[in-house]
């Protein structure tokens, strides 16, 4: 990302961020597995995802929106946080996801991707 943004001014970065902040997530095309969705919702509640990402999971300030993100992206990001492979970011998520199973991460991603 650093090489992509080289030469981009702070003003341009703010404009890009504002554009994406206003963007609506694309609708999920994949089917919803009711069991995975419930399990992910229970996990999100128990893990208190809404404390930082807001109760509707829309994100705020430096906390990204989780609701409506692509399931594959959420799974990969949470696995990278858990496995301490996501460098250059806040370590809070590594701690939150420490010890969370692959199956639970997949259920969380399923739930979050289908939340609106």
Distance CA 60, CA 66 (A): 10
pTM of the complete model = 0.79
Residue closest to 71 by CA, chosen among 38, 25, 35:
25
pLDDT at site 57? 94
Mean pLDDT of 68-82: 94
pLDDT at site 111? 97
Q: Which domains occur in the chain, in start order? A: 33-114 (1.10.760.10)
pLDDT by residue (tens digit) across 13-51? 999 988 988 887 777 778 999 999 999 999 999 999 999
In the block, which residue shows the tokens 């199956």?
A: 103
List the structure tokens of 63. Answer: 């906390």
């Amino acid at each position: 990302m650093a090489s992509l943004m080289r030469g981009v001014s702070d003003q341009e970065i703010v404009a890009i961020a504002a554009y994406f902040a206003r963007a609506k997530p694309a609708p999920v095309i994949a089917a919803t597995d009711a069991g995975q969705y419930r399990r992910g919702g229970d996990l999100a509640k128990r893990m208190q995802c809404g404390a930082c990402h807001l109760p509707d999971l829309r994100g705020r300030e430096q906390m990204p929106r989780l609701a409506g993100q692509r399931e594959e992206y959420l799974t990969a990001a949470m696995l990278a946080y858990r496995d301490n492979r996501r460098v250059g970011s806040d370590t809070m998520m590594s701690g939150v996801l420490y010890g969370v199973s692959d199956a639970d991460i997949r259920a969380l991603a399923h739930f979050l991707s289908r939340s609106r």
